[in-house]
Amino acid sequence: MVTNSKFWDRNKKQIQSDFLCRPYVISLLGNVKKKKILDAGCGEGYISRILSEKKAIVVGIDISKKLIKIAKQKEDSLKLGASFYYSDIRNMKIIKNESQDIVISVLVFNHLSKKTDWLKALSEIKRVLKKKGVFILSLPHPFEMFYRPKTNWVRYLNGKIGNYWKEERIKKELYKSSKETFIVNNYSKRFSTLINLLIESGFMVDKILEPMPTKKDLSTYPRLWGEEKKFPFYLIIRCLKK
């Protein structure tokens, strides 16, 4: 799992996914006022703070103690009402059964290589969701993992073109607007694998987004954009608990 606290610590859009992923996750939630939301894999709390400002009741968990420490420090300063805990999404004992209206997991599952880990995490998410609760999963797009499009936000360290049929480790160097970088390992999954794992885990797929940058996005840090208007970089799936 990602643990580089300095790279992820930010208060505004500074990485590609802040433009092409997180705003679209939020767009699928609608009115979150007084909704109980679990941010599963919250990092330093970037999206948790946005949701708290929208009056949601947010709990964030993450496997990185350093990132949870930053999230708590920022909450102590801002007093938005969010709570943060150290926990693994595959074993969330700290979260009660059927206690959450919504669970979001933003760019976390792509760090899980094994099917068994996916199923454990999805089982835990289903457990903590209320009946007919909403789960939003966001991931690097399976086609992006294969095509490796050109962009200055991301550098692929194990080649340009992969094998879509082979689910494999993809090593990336991510770039921040401040020119800081961080190397991360992702594990590719075919589109069919993703959907079938959700169905197998008892979720009904409700909506799918493949975000494309807006003109405003492209005018912000223009030196960093590349083929984002030609190829999808992120896949966002809204599911309902059956």
* pLDDT tens digits along 77-111: 999 999 999 999 999 999 999 999 999 999 999 99
Please tell me the pTM assigned to this model.
0.94
19, 233 in Cβ contact below 8 A?
no
Please report the sign of the dihedral spanned by the C-alpha atoms of residue 7, residue 8, residue 10, residue 13: positive
pLDDT class of 162 with cuts at 50, 70, 90: confident
Q: How far apart are CA 149 and CA 130, in angstroms?
A: 39
15 closest CA partner among 182, 239, 231, 127: 182
Q: Read off the pLDDT of residues 107-151 as tens digits, 9 standing for 90 and up.
A: 999 999 999 999 999 999 999 999 999 999 999 999 998 999 999
**Contact criterion met (CB below 8 Å) for 66 and 31:** no
Question: Which residue in this structure is represented by tokens 């880990």?
Answer: 117
Q: How many residues are present in the chain?
A: 242
Q: Which amino acid is at 32?
A: V
CATH number of 5-140+190-215+232-241: 3.40.50.150
Give the start-to-end residue ranges of the domains of the chain. 5-140+190-215+232-241
